[in-house]
Structure 1
Amino acid sequence: MRLSEFRRAVAEEFGPVHGPVLTRDQWLAELGGTVDEALAAGADPRDAWLALCREMSVPTERRHGRGLVDPR
Protein backbone atom coordinates (compact mmCIF):
# COMPACT_ATOMS: atom_id res chain seq x y z
CA MET A 1 0.00 0.00 0.00
CA ARG A 2 1.34 3.39 -0.98
CA LEU A 3 0.93 6.39 1.30
CA SER A 4 -1.49 7.94 -1.21
CA GLU A 5 -3.61 4.77 -1.11
CA PHE A 6 -3.51 4.87 2.69
CA ARG A 7 -4.72 8.50 2.75
CA ARG A 8 -7.49 7.71 0.26
CA ALA A 9 -8.63 4.67 2.27
CA VAL A 10 -8.67 6.71 5.50
CA ALA A 11 -10.70 9.50 3.87
CA GLU A 12 -13.16 7.04 2.35
CA GLU A 13 -13.61 5.00 5.54
CA PHE A 14 -13.65 7.80 8.12
CA GLY A 15 -14.50 10.86 6.03
CA PRO A 16 -12.36 13.62 4.50
CA VAL A 17 -12.51 15.73 7.67
CA HIS A 18 -12.53 13.12 10.43
CA GLY A 19 -9.94 10.82 8.81
CA PRO A 20 -6.98 13.21 8.99
CA VAL A 21 -7.93 14.23 12.53
CA LEU A 22 -8.03 10.56 13.50
CA THR A 23 -4.57 9.81 12.07
CA ARG A 24 -3.16 12.92 13.75
CA ASP A 25 -4.77 12.57 17.19
CA GLN A 26 -5.77 8.95 17.90
CA TRP A 27 -3.05 7.22 19.94
CA LEU A 28 -2.66 3.55 19.06
CA ALA A 29 -0.88 1.24 21.50
CA GLU A 30 -0.04 -1.09 18.62
CA LEU A 31 1.95 1.67 16.93
CA GLY A 32 3.24 3.32 20.09
CA GLY A 33 1.82 6.67 19.04
CA THR A 34 -0.42 8.21 16.44
CA VAL A 35 -0.67 6.94 12.89
CA ASP A 36 0.97 10.11 11.56
CA GLU A 37 3.86 9.71 14.02
CA ALA A 38 4.33 6.09 13.01
CA LEU A 39 4.31 6.94 9.31
CA ALA A 40 6.80 9.77 9.87
CA ALA A 41 9.06 7.29 11.68
CA GLY A 42 8.98 4.95 8.66
CA ALA A 43 6.11 2.57 9.42
CA ASP A 44 4.64 0.77 6.44
CA PRO A 45 1.34 2.42 5.44
CA ARG A 46 -0.37 -1.00 5.21
CA ASP A 47 0.65 -1.84 8.79
CA ALA A 48 -0.59 1.56 9.96
CA TRP A 49 -3.88 1.08 8.08
CA LEU A 50 -4.49 -2.34 9.59
CA ALA A 51 -3.65 -1.10 13.10
CA LEU A 52 -6.09 1.78 12.66
CA CYS A 53 -8.76 -0.60 11.36
CA ARG A 54 -8.34 -2.91 14.34
CA GLU A 55 -8.45 0.00 16.81
CA MET A 56 -11.55 1.53 15.20
CA SER A 57 -13.31 -1.85 14.71
CA VAL A 58 -13.52 -1.56 10.94
CA PRO A 59 -15.12 -4.79 9.67
CA THR A 60 -12.65 -7.21 8.12
CA GLU A 61 -14.36 -7.02 4.73
CA ARG A 62 -13.59 -3.28 4.53
CA ARG A 63 -10.00 -3.43 5.74
CA HIS A 64 -8.62 -3.61 2.23
CA GLY A 65 -9.84 -0.01 1.89
CA ARG A 66 -12.50 1.23 -0.44
CA GLY A 67 -11.12 1.97 -3.87
CA LEU A 68 -8.19 -0.40 -3.40
CA VAL A 69 -7.63 -3.82 -4.87
CA ASP A 70 -8.99 -6.56 -2.61
CA PRO A 71 -6.00 -8.50 -1.21
CA ARG A 72 -5.72 -12.20 -1.94
Structure 2
Amino acid sequence: MRLTDFWARLEQTFGVSYARSLAADHAFADLGGRTIDQAIAQGVDTATVWRAVVAAYPDRVPVRLH
Protein backbone atom coordinates (compact mmCIF):
# COMPACT_ATOMS: atom_id res chain seq x y z
CA MET A 1 0.00 0.00 0.00
CA ARG A 2 1.38 3.40 -0.90
CA LEU A 3 1.81 5.91 1.90
CA THR A 4 -0.67 8.29 0.29
CA ASP A 5 -3.26 5.51 0.18
CA PHE A 6 -2.62 4.72 3.84
CA TRP A 7 -3.20 8.33 4.91
CA ALA A 8 -6.30 8.61 2.73
CA ARG A 9 -7.79 5.51 4.38
CA LEU A 10 -6.90 6.68 7.87
CA GLU A 11 -8.36 10.15 7.25
CA GLN A 12 -11.49 8.73 5.61
CA THR A 13 -12.05 6.44 8.59
CA PHE A 14 -11.26 8.82 11.45
CA GLY A 15 -11.42 12.32 9.97
CA VAL A 16 -8.35 14.44 9.24
CA SER A 17 -7.74 15.85 12.72
CA TYR A 18 -8.34 12.66 14.67
CA ALA A 19 -6.34 10.59 12.19
CA ARG A 20 -3.27 12.77 12.75
CA SER A 21 -3.77 12.63 16.52
CA LEU A 22 -4.21 8.86 16.43
CA ALA A 23 -1.04 8.50 14.35
CA ALA A 24 1.00 10.56 16.78
CA ASP A 25 -0.42 9.51 20.13
CA HIS A 26 -1.86 5.96 20.11
CA ALA A 27 0.58 3.11 20.74
CA PHE A 28 -0.57 -0.06 18.98
CA ALA A 29 0.20 -3.45 20.49
CA ASP A 30 0.40 -4.99 17.00
CA LEU A 31 3.15 -2.48 16.18
CA GLY A 32 5.23 -3.42 19.18
CA GLY A 33 3.92 -0.54 21.25
CA ARG A 34 4.81 2.03 18.61
CA THR A 35 2.62 4.76 17.24
CA ILE A 36 1.73 4.88 13.56
CA ASP A 37 4.19 7.72 13.05
CA GLN A 38 6.98 5.81 14.78
CA ALA A 39 6.29 2.60 12.89
CA ILE A 40 6.29 4.34 9.51
CA ALA A 41 9.44 6.28 10.38
CA GLN A 42 11.13 3.00 11.32
CA GLY A 43 10.26 1.43 7.98
CA VAL A 44 7.29 -0.75 8.88
CA ASP A 45 5.28 -1.47 5.73
CA THR A 46 2.13 0.65 5.54
CA ALA A 47 -0.01 -2.46 4.88
CA THR A 48 1.21 -3.87 8.20
CA VAL A 49 0.42 -0.59 9.93
CA TRP A 50 -3.05 -0.53 8.37
CA ARG A 51 -3.73 -4.09 9.56
CA ALA A 52 -2.82 -2.97 13.09
CA VAL A 53 -5.34 -0.11 12.83
CA VAL A 54 -8.04 -2.49 11.57
CA ALA A 55 -7.28 -4.94 14.41
CA ALA A 56 -7.48 -2.19 17.03
CA TYR A 57 -10.66 -0.61 15.62
CA PRO A 58 -12.59 -3.43 13.89
CA ASP A 59 -15.97 -1.72 14.29
CA ARG A 60 -14.71 1.65 13.09
CA VAL A 61 -13.02 0.66 9.84
CA PRO A 62 -15.50 -0.02 7.02
CA VAL A 63 -15.22 -3.51 5.55
CA ARG A 64 -14.49 -2.04 2.10
CA LEU A 65 -11.28 -0.54 3.54
CA HIS A 66 -9.96 -3.74 5.12
Q: Same fold (TM over 0.5)?
A: yes
Task: Flag structure 1 segments of 5+ consecutive residues without an equivalent.
Answer: 65-72
User: Which of the pair is proportionally richer in helix?
Assistant: 2
| C-alpha contact (below 8 Å) 1:27/1:35 kept by paired residues | yes
> What CA RMSD, in Å, does the superposition of the two structures yield over aligned residues?
1.4
TM (norm. structure 1) is: 0.79
| C-alpha contact (below 8 Å) 1:38/1:48 kept by paired residues | yes
Is 2:18 the counterpart of 1:18? yes
| C-alpha contact (below 8 Å) 2:6/2:46 kept by paired residues | yes
What is the aligned-residue identity percentage? 33
TM (norm. structure 2) is: 0.86
Indicate how the Cα distance of structure 1 residues 59 and 9 shifts in structure 2: closer, same or farther if over 3 A, else same: closer
User: Which of the pair is proportionally richer in strand?
Assistant: 1
| C-alpha contact (below 8 Å) 1:24/1:34 kept by paired residues | yes
Task: Flag structure 2 segments of 5+ consecutive residues without an equivalent.
Answer: none
Which deviations, in whole Å up to 9, do the C-alpha atoms of 1:10-37 show, x marking residues without a partner? Answer: 0000001100100111100110111110
Aligned residue for 1:17, secondary structure, equals helix
Runs of 4+ residues over 6 Å off in structure 1: none
